[in-house]
Amino acid sequence: MNRIELTEVITANRISRGLTWQQLADAIDRPVVWTTAALLGQHPIPRPEAEILVEKLGLDTDVIPLLGAVPVRGTDRDVAMSDPTIYRLYEALAVYGPAIKELIHENFGDGIMSAINFSVDIDRKTHPTGDRVVITLDGKFLPYDWVSGD
């Protein structure tokens, strides 16, 4: 079994056992976005947390080393983008991505927002015209810096 096949089993077992992502995150005391992404194959899961999750999800314990290995990250873009819920995020980048770039440079200088020293949070905010999804992307600013190890 490779990590992609393992993710399919995790997905199926979570649904058939009626577990929420939040319950799984609570069980290991980690942020829910991190936990969900990790179970979907995007982060290695340390042994203690993996042991708990394997038990909750009814997985074989010999997948624990595989859960702990650094995965090949990423999502097939064509598949992901065909889903309307995910597509709206790509659409936001198509419309606002260049503006975000300009304002990062204007406010921080030449560099990037790290996607490695980084976290994502999702919140629900009430609003008179209907509840809102609020997604916060929070990454360290990294300035372009020509450093060599010598």
Residue 64 is encoded by which pair of tokens? 């624990």
Chain residues 8-67 in contact with a second copy, contact rule CB under 8 A: 8, 11-12, 15-16, 18, 20-22, 31-34, 36-37, 40, 42-44, 62, 65-66
Q: Which is nearer to a second copy, 48 or 99 (CB)?
A: 99
Q: Which is nearer to a second copy, 27 or 104 (CB)?
A: 104
Q: Is 130 in the site for a second copy (CB under 8 A)?
A: yes
Applying CB under 8 A, which of residues 26, 55, 61, 117 lies at the interface with a second copy?
Answer: 117
Burial 100-138 (b: 16+ CB within 10 A, else e): eeeeeeeeeeeeebeeeeeeeeeeeeeeeeeeeeeeeee
Specify whether 16 is catalytic. no
Hey, what amino acid is at 137? L
